[in-house]
A and B are shown apart, each in its own frame.
Chain A
Amino acid sequence: GEDVEQSLFLSVREGDSSVINCTYTDSSSTYLYWYKQEPGAGLQLLTYIFSNMDMKQDQRLTVLLNKKDKHLSLRIADTQTGDSAIYFCAEKPRSGSARQLTFGSGTQLTVLP
């Protein structure tokens, strides 16, 4: 079955870049997502990438996809204290599967002043 893995914790200094990594196993994934969760709240979609793309940039966010290695990363430039949150990687399996998204365990990003 599908499996999505992330490291649990990441700490960076304010102003530095953060890179959060994710690996997945389902080679038929169609879309891959990054969600952000602030304390005590639901998940908010940050960005997504279609599986035939290598990179997507959206302001401070850059998503890189290495489909051969099934590796996805999220780079946050000029990380701010407001970026402290849990970041979830998720993948959508091929069309026809009703189960929708499979989530990773989440990476807790801590931004230090």
Chain B
Amino acid sequence: DGGITQSPKYLFRKEGQNVTLSCEQNLNHDAMYWYRQDPGQGLRLIYYSQIVNDFQKGDIAEGYSVSREKKESFPLTVTSAQKNPTAFYLCASSIGEQGSTEAFFGQGTRLTVV
């Protein structure tokens, strides 16, 4: 089955640590996205990538980093510089710009700082 997979589902981080959230898709989509979800604030765009080896900052990129070495994979690293990392993180992918470009979402990773 084609889809987008995030792992792990739950992640705990100690203060000062970097953690990496995995996002893999087998939909052959060019574009991939990372969103952060906080209660009552909807989805905020962290980073996005339209093509392999290229990515752009979204609205809240500070304290995060990404890479796009393969079309299928778009990992997100939450660095120690992110002061309030506890949130639900969603990865998405889409074909690209043209047409209705439905975005497919993973099941999310809940990150908690302990």
Chain A contacts to B: CB under 8 angstroms: 4, 8, 31, 33, 35, 40-45, 48, 50, 88, 92, 95-101, 103-106
Contact = CB atoms under 8 A, between A and B. Distances in A.
Given A8-B40, A95-B97, A100-B31, 8 more contacts: A40-B108, A43-B103, A43-B105, A44-B105, A50-B100, A88-B42, A99-B45, A103-B42
Interface of B: 6, 31, 33, 35, 40-43, 45, 48, 50, 56, 58, 90, 92, 94, 97-98, 100-108, 110
A50 B99 CA distance: 10
Interface centre among A48, A92, A100, A104, by most B CB within 10 Å? A100
B110 A92 contact: no
B42 A99 contact: no
